[in-house]
Chain A
């Protein structure tokens, strides 16, 4: 068993971390550094500034919305709160380009004009739609963890609004800042939305330099600039983000204070529903209307175009999720049971950095490393995409599994140890069954993210392979709007179908396992 752990560590180091280090740091020793750095001009920095402004606007508004919604969903007696929470998260799990298509269609239908949405402001709107749920998740988790007594002692000395501003908000400040930092990083790294709207930003510039002008060294140098911005933010918020308590199954539950809404119940419920209509139902309905505007013909055509991509995409997402969960499990095991090893601390940071750096840059580093004759068997196959997905999303699996492992009392393992149960048997018979809901949740999330990942896939997919998001993206540029909408609607429906089926299975697993934890 220990050998398996070391194999996973070594493979992750060689296949994922080494290419990143090799490409990003190799540029300094290649002789390309000085000639290319001179190509940095005011336009380069203007684009970085523009990307930063889009990211700041997105992060500010999404975090503000997230804070308000999180408070309503996690701290008030709002009705149907669990359903609302589940529905609200949908945009986070849908590939960003789907929402971009939906919003373009909405503007086309409503104003017969897409110029308004095909702009920096439109990009911000779509990104807010995607990332507000992430903010709800982060801030909701922090609100859930506030000690009830702190709020109650606050209420003894002041009124409710002042208590919220003076007690609750300062207590959740780390979560608010982390939400801002994470959404900023994701927004500045986003490629598919600005690319779809035809907005030139820093990521699209890197992509152009790499894929259109084949100026790899300049693309890598520009990437380094973007990584620098992301890593600087990561370091300021790193401690909270590395903990990622929002990626927790929370099977033990918390006793957070819930506030009665009283007369405001209906208006607060209406506000939440309005938000849901705007963020989830409008995109879906608009895609539906556009798809069937001329009958079912375009929808059927879209289905036939996408049909050959289903098996490849599902298989790819499945295997990448298996490897992601395996990697997440091994890293989580070391993090919980070998807390003080340097390997553990380093790997924790590597997982976070790979998760946070723009997909485009990660993709470039893998291409630069694997594009050589001796590694062509990886470069020219789907293996490179599986490696990329595993590297990118292992942080999520790692954190979900780690948080779940931390909830299991060490004494359960020790009780087995003293009974004479072998090491590997303890892992398979005691530990794995107890963290099963987290393992499955990690699998679901990885699967959904893998299925919708565009930026990495577009850079790495081997020629001749048909993959769902690539097919949609390549056809988008020239196809009639109804066909694009139909294809997007199909991907949207498939994603929803997978999310809901997995969710139902997850509920079954959780129902089976969660009562077991009430004993302790």
Chain B
């Protein structure tokens, strides 16, 4: 079943076309990796799905509900039941780890906030850092805090924009394993953006290779590895 569909999307930044008549869809409960070099449009796709940008033409459907169409945001980001891990993680620097995770729940006037936050803190082994501020955490702890903050609201979809960019290789592998476990535990559909094919091949159920706003190849990891497409072969060489 398809959880996200982008239909005939046109999108441009300051008059420069990023996506033209672009179509793509993502399977429910799968981990799909959008792979491509810089400025190929992969982050734009995430931002359109999240509702930070409205495509000038075409529609976006989430769980078969139209959320954006023809330049308009129909359903705002916070009502799309999705979470977003930003490239810079976007942890609020003036809030503690606890407050970063609890803030969304507090604003939504949720019940049992403390319990829900500590469940997350325990799951991510962050309990002892609850009162620390983001600048007092290590790279990995920041990553986990960002993920905990995203998941505490129990989203169905998790959008991840190159979140492991700044980590060393060892930590990156640990985090990749974590992400795979998250998908199962929280029954998530994950859309993961990366420029690193090794990262994509470790994680993904499905991989989509993008180049200049166009899909060059899509399929399982094996499909992509065996793809005959010239760009894909060139891209996988490095």
Contacts and interface: CB of A to CB of B under 8 A. Distances in A.
Given A409-B90, A418-B77, A419-B78, A516 B135 contact: yes
Contact of A420 (B78, B135, B137): B78
Given A415-B90, A419-B78, A518 B107 contact: no
B94 A421 contact: no
**Looking at A422, A513, A515, A520, which has the most chain B CB atoms within 10 Å of its CB?**
A520
Interface string B134-171: 11010000100000010001000000000000000000
Contacts, number: 78
Which of A415, A429, A433, A434 counts the most chain B CB atoms within 10 A?
A415
A270 interface: no
B86 A516 contact: no
Contacts of B79: 420
Given A516-B133, A519-B134, A519-B142, A419 B104 contact: yes
Nearest to B47: A414
A254 interface: no
B92 to A, nearest CB: 6
Interface string B79-104: 10011101110111110000000011
A487 B33 CA distance: 73
A421 B106 CA distance: 10
A517 B134 CA distance: 9
A414 B88 contact: no
Interface string B106-133: 0110000000000000000000000001
Contacts of A414: 50, 52, 77, 84, 86, 90
Given A420-B78, A420-B104, A434-B94, A415 B135 contact: no
Given A409-B88, A515-B135, A519-B134, A419 B93 contact: no
A341 interface: no
Contacts of B153: 419-420
B135 A417 contact: no
Interface in B5-49: none
B27 to A, nearest CB: 22
A430 B92 contact: yes
B94 to A, nearest CB: 5
Interface string B209-233: 0000000000000000000000000
Contacts of B142: 519
Nearest to A420: B78
A411 interface: yes
A444 B149 CA distance: 37
Interface string A476-520: 000000000000000000000000000000000000010111111
A434 B133 CA distance: 14
A56 to B, nearest CB: 41
Contact of B82 (A418, A422, A434): A418
Contacts of A415: 84, 86, 90-92, 149
A518 B78 contact: no
B61 to A, nearest CB: 18
A434 B93 contact: yes
A513 B87 CA distance: 23
Contact of A516 (B84, B104, B134): B134
Contact of A518 (B52, B94, B135): B135
A421 B87 CA distance: 20
Given A417-B77, A419-B104, A517 B84 contact: no
B103 A421 contact: yes
A411 B86 CA distance: 7
A205 B51 CA distance: 60
25 contacts: A409-B86, A409-B88, A411-B87, A412-B90, A412-B92, A414-B50, A417-B52, A418-B78, A419-B104, A419-B107, A419-B149, A420-B79, A420-B104, A420-B107, A421-B104, A429-B103, A430-B92, A434-B94, A515-B133, A516-B134, A516-B135, A517-B93, A518-B135, A519-B134, A520-B93
Given A409-B88, A416-B92, A518-B135, 16 more contacts: A409-B86, A414-B50, A415-B149, A416-B103, A417-B52, A417-B77, A418-B51, A419-B103, A419-B104, A420-B108, A433-B94, A513-B94, A517-B93, A517-B135, A519-B135, A519-B142
Interface of A: 409, 411-412, 414-422, 425, 429-430, 433-434, 513, 515-520
Interface of B: 50-52, 76-79, 82-84, 86-88, 90-94, 103-104, 107-108, 133-135, 137, 142, 149, 153
Q: Which 4 A-B pairs have the closest CB atoms?
A: A420-B78, A419-B104, A516-B93, A411-B90
